[in-house]
Amino acid sequence: MKPMLLFLLIFPVLNICMGQKVLQMETVNRARTMKISAGQKLNYRLSDSGKNWERDVINGLDEVRQTVQFGHIEVPIAEITYLRLPQRSWLQIVGAQLAVFGISWVGASAIGDWAYNDKNINWTTAGVIGLTTVPAGILLMRDRKVKMGGRHRLRVLDLTYPGTEQGQRTE
């Protein structure tokens, strides 16, 4: 009895959520795509905005006109020239570890020289290690910029199930 009651309570909610619209970024020769749905923040650069980046929350997507609707503007996806995406998680972890390693190496060398009067410290080596690992770590943690056009393209897709219209059942 309880499973049937639970099913009857959840079924109307599932019926409303039958489909959704997504902004899909495709890459040439890759089966994996990146899907961005309404409600997510998007960093983008338009073709006529020069080097200015915009950051807005997606309010809606229109698959017929291929437009993205933000709070104050509706942008055709053909005008989006760049996307700024967060870096992959493993690159952020490696970058943070490299930066911490470089800072701690130089810090340990400075403490060894100051506190213990250790004159065997080679400051050239410590400086080279610090000045190469810290910027390398910072570069790995930066967001990646994806240029639309040659290898990447954007599409708005409607993933509504067959037989439904705007999430409502047709009987």
Q: What's the one-letter identity of residue 17?
A: C
Q: Please tell me the pTM assigned to this model.
A: 0.62
Average pLDDT estimate for 139-162? 84
State the pLDDT at residue 17. Answer: 52
Q: For residue range 70-124, what is the model confidence (pLDDT) as tens digits?
A: 888 888 988 888 988 877 788 888 889 999 999 998 888 888 777 777 677 777 8
Name which of 46, 45, 68 is nearest 57 in CA terms.
68
Euclidean distance between CA atoms 92 and 97, whole angstroms: 9
